[in-house]
Amino acid sequence: MSIAFNQISKVFADGTVALDRLDLEFDRGEFIVLLGPSGSGKTTACRILAGLEQATSGVISIDGRDVTRLPPRERNMSMVFQNYALYGHKTVFDNIAYPLRVRKIGRNSIGTKVHEVARLLQIESYLDRRPSQLSGGQAQRVAVARALVWNPDICLMDEPLSNLDALLRLQTRTELKRLHSDLGHTFLFVTHDQEEAMTLGTKIAVLNEGQLVQFDIPRRIYHEPSSRFVAEFIGRPAMNIIDGEINNGMFQAAGGFQIDVENQPDGPVAMGIRPEQILVSGTQTKQTIEFELDVIELVEPDTLLFVKKGGVNMVVRVMRDMGQIERGATVHLALPHAHRHFFELADGRRRW
């Protein structure tokens, strides 16, 4: 029971390569997130799965059945659009009921199903309204209700939260998560927001320039990014990555920065460490390095320290108030071996 992209490529009429031999396979019941910057091909992948766009080459299969040439209506998928795409001339009830009507479901059962899904999404009191009388959050719920009411095989969501304001986005995110664990539906969710991806996905597919960069569970995406791109894309503030070279167990970078490393062969390398995994020490020890504090940002409850040493700049995220600390002060930082990442300087691949 799985959905698979096999060597899917998409070249648009103007020559843009949106997808380049994408291979991706996932099981039913998963909450898959397609994550990538704009132009990474994530929306195109979603639309090709929906049948709204035709792949230039490659095969889409569902449970082993080739659906590549099937029109959207024969694929048993629903979709939630970024701008909701509700039918303005129909009431909320009729909007939700519409996929059932098109599929010729009996009148009685339509009423039951619509009320059931409306209750689930807490929109029962708006059923008589028109889409133009709804707020963004309400319209979003109606769109989700319309996508879930007929129990499709997969529910596709193309950046459904990006038109909501920040607080509502968080609430809706939590609700989607709850919906998924309650219903056990299969979701494919497209976003450029790494935080959304990390919280929602049971698995995340990171795309860049039309290619799949990493497909894994969120924890591994965060702790073992397969490339420098993933490492920098996931996590805010972004991972500190220092270009340098390893010589005899010492990592050396511009401006005389150097630090000892474990179990790494010599050669040019980029070393990364996440801002939240750097330890700030009160005193100098064997493991610490002295940095000069450049800028301090208080982002309650965290503190961001922008430090520099020679030609190396780093961000440190400290989860407490640093008290009185001035620009230009010396801070002692430890970079734990277990949290360091090493990437090939040439192509950004992870060194394992």
Partner 1 sequence: MARAWRTAALAAVIAVLLLLLLPYLWIFLTSFKTRLDALADVPVWVFTPTYDHYPEVFINKGYLPLVWNSIIVAVLSTALSLVVGAPAAYVFARFDFTGREDLFFFFLTTRMAPPISVVVPMFLLFTTLGITDKPIAVILAHTTFNLSLVVWMMRGFFNDIPREIDEAAMMDGHSQLGTFLKILIPLAAPGLAATAVLCFILSWNEFLYAFILVAFEGRTLTVGIPGLITPHGTLWGQVAAVAVVATLPILVFTFIVQRHLVRGLTFGAVKG
Candidates 141, 137, 120; CA nearest to 183 is 120
**Minimum CB distance to partner 1, residue 73 (Å):** 5
- CB nearer to partner 1: pick between 81 and 306: 81
Closer Cβ to partner 1, 127 or 154, answer by number: 154
Helices 92-102, 107-120: axis angle to 10 degrees equals 130
Q: Are strands 288-299 and 330-334 parallel, antiparallel or unpaired?
A: antiparallel
We find the least distance from the C-beta atom of residue 81 to partner 1, in angstroms, to be: 4
CB nearer to partner 1: pick between 67 and 239: 67
Give the shortest CB-26-to-partner 1 separation in angstroms: 20
Closest approach of Cβ 52 to partner 1, in Å?
5
In angstroms, the CA 92 to CA 141 distance is: 10
Long-range contacts of 342-346 (CB under 8 A, 24+ apart): 342/261, 342/264, 342/269, 342/270, 342/271, 342/272, 343/227, 343/228, 343/231, 343/241, 343/269, 343/270, 343/271, 343/272, 344/268, 344/269, 344/270, 345/243, 345/268, 345/269, 345/270, 346/268
CB of 151 to partner 1, least distance (A): 13
Closer Cβ to partner 1, 136 or 237, answer by number = 136
CB of 46 to partner 1, least distance (A): 11
DSSP labels for 98-167?
A: HHHHHTT--HHHHHHHHHHHHHHTT-GGGTTS-GGGS-HHHHHHHHHHHHHTT--SEEEEESTTTTS-HH
Backbone torsions φ then ψ of 216, nearest 5 degrees: -165, 175
Please say which residue, 105 or 334, places its beta carbon nearer to partner 1. Answer: 105
Smaller CB distance to partner 1: residue 106 or 323?
A: 106
Which pair of structure tokens corresponds to residue 105?
């479901």
State the minimum distance, in angstroms, from the CB of residue 156 to partner 1. Answer: 8
Q: Which residues bind partner 1 (CB under 8 A)?
A: 13, 50-52, 71-73, 77-79, 81-83, 85-89, 98-99, 102-103, 146-147, 156
Residue ranges of alpha helices (H) inside 165-233 are 166-183, 194-200, 218-223, 228-233
Task: Report the alpha-carbon distance of residue 9 to residue 23 in Å, rounded.
Answer: 10
Which residue lies nearer to partner 1 by CB, 95 or 214? 95
Reference 88, options 33, 134, 30, 37; nearest CA is 134
- N- to C-terminal Cα separation, the chain: 32
Q: How far is the CB of 188 from partner 1 (least distance, A)?
A: 13
